Amino acid sequence: MKMKDNSATFVILGGTGDLAKKKLIPSIYALFRDGALDEFDVVSTSREEMSDEDYVSIVENNVEKTEGWEEFCQHLHFVRLNFYEDGDYSHLKKVLGNCERRKLFYLATLPQHFQTITHNLASHDLVTDYDKVIYEKPFGDDLGSARELNDTIRKVFPEERIYRIDHYLDKELVENITVLRFANSIVEPIWCSKYIDHVQIIASEDFGVEGRGEYYDKYGAIRDFFQSHILQLLALTTMSRPGQFDAKCIRDEKVKALSKVKVLDAIRGQYEGYLQEDHVARDSSTETLAAVKLGLDGRRWDGVPIFTLFGKNLADKYAQVYVQFKRTEQRFSGGRINHSPNSLVVSIQPDQGIYFTLNTKVPGEMRTTESEMNFCYTCHHGPNTPRAYENLLIQAVRGHQRSFVRSDEIEQQWRIVEEIEDQEPFKYEKGQIADQVRDFIGERRWHDL
């Protein structure tokens, strides 16, 4: 069978969930509108009974309808499917018929259903040798379950056709970390313990669990955010140069970096009011914020602490990687001059850019001042960079795996999580930085907090 590169039948398992409504359908529509898909159909499933038209009316509120919406809807189909009902899979098979196109199964469901769905897709003969599968995060809820899941799905799909989502990997500035480090001869030589004092990886959100209490209370900040986004940022920041800039080499290097990571310290917090959120246990000790100090074995990162901080209901929404270099011991005209350490910030969102601080001379005096070299990404490239889910979907259609997480990365990530000790979270006021967070970093200061 000859497959067109940009064609697919998207089969969305969990078609009425937030992810499907808010991200997947709008993204497939955007791809269609931009002419990125040659041929496609969308078959969305969920437990409810409804017609294709009912489904359109559920999803259309989240879509900015411009040209082609009516035509797009002709490709939207709905099939009722209870993940645990054999008969429903047989019906889905009938609807898909002898689908000539490659199918892209998207498991936009809670992770506890992944194994059953994967197993049932195979046992009902729904998977051909061309089909692919995308798993939303979180992939497993600990090392054991992630391994078990990897074992199950590898019996159905080979690794080259498995796409584990971490949508941070497709953010422009996250992809830029690799380019910044390895395409610039001035960066890599100083990217080591001889020059770097410490690294901070911060992801701060100014909202709470937003209706996701049921999921969040089971996972918490460490399993929801640290296990995935933070550890991927850490892997990209600390990995060695990949032989090539392809999925295999980059993922090989990320796994090597992750396997050297050890947890040095951690604290957990919970925002005031969390216990009153819908679907959250009234006595829950789930953390909504955490700070974790990490180190890496080996000479390159010897003695360089990596402080990570992530949490909900903080003052602002932003994400960044901050690298602070060691202070020089320079003396001028016999006297010591106070100057700041250089730093480099990769600002992932909302501002997208790379900032480098340098010490320069104050005019007329032998005194230094801090100046910023500022590369504003949107100023150079405009604000219309593709949105993460559009990009991820088209990459999966085309078979590019660089922005997806491989089985061994996921297992390393869970290994690291399991090193963090359980402890009762402290309470923090919404929008406030708790003393525990401030003190966590010792003599150093959190950047921008």
For the annotated catalytic residues, the residue numbers are: 229
CB 80 within 8 A of CB 45: yes
Nearest to 25 by CA among 93, 78, 96, 83: 78
CB of 224 or CB of 287, closer to ligand BG6: 224
Chain CA centroid to CA 152, Å = 23
The smaller minimum CB distance to ligand BG6, of residues 242 and 311, is found at 311
3-state secondary structure of 222: helix
CB of 325 to ligand BG6, least distance (A): 27
Binding to ligand BG6, residues 302-341 (CB under 6 A)? 319
- Find the DSSP H helices in 101-246: 114-123, 143-154, 172-182, 213-221, 231-238
| CA nearest neighbour of 433 among 299, 309, 286 | 309
In DSSP terms, 44 is beta-bridged to 12, 78
Given the complex with ligand BG6, which of 205 and 411 has the nearer CB atom? 205
Residues 270/286, Cβ–Cβ less than 8 Å:
yes
Give least dist CB 74 to ligand BG6, A: 31
User: Closest separation between CB of residue 112 and ligand BG6, Å?
Assistant: 16
Smallest separation, CB 217 to ligand BG6 (Å): 12
Beta strand 261-271 with 8-13: parallel, antiparallel or unpaired?
A: unpaired
Q: Which residue is nearest to ligand BG6 (CB)?
A: 224
In order of 55, 228, 257, 418, 447, the CA distances from 309 in angstroms are 39, 13, 20, 17, 11
C-beta of residue 156 within 8 angstroms of C-beta of residue 119: yes
Contacts to ligand BG6 from residues 110-139, by CB under 6 A: 137
DSSP 282: T
Residue type at position 392: L
Using the minimum distance from each CB to ligand BG6, give the nearer residue, 317 or 381: 317
CB 290 within 8 A of CB 226: yes
Does residue 205 touch ligand BG6 according to CB under 6 A? yes
Judged by beta carbon, residue 167 or residue 198, the one nearer ligand BG6 is: 167
Phi-psi region of 412 (alpha: psi -120 to 50; beta: other; left: phi over 0): alpha
Q: Give the C-alpha distances (Å, rounded to integers) separating 71 from 41, 65, 74.
A: 11, 11, 5
Number of H helices, E strands in the chain: 15, 18
Site residue total, ligand BG6 (CB under 6 A): 6
In the complex, the smallest distance separating the C-beta of residue 224 from ligand BG6, rounded to whole angstroms, is 5
Residue 449 DSSP one-character state = -
Listed residue (85, 3, 10) closest to 49, CA to CA: 85
| Least CB distance to ligand BG6 at residue 145 (A) | 17
Task: Read off the tokens for 413.
Answer: 């990530």
Smallest gap from Cβ 343 to ligand BG6, in A, equals 22
Instruction: Give the binding site for ligand BG6 (CB under 6 A).
Output: 137, 167, 205, 224-225, 319
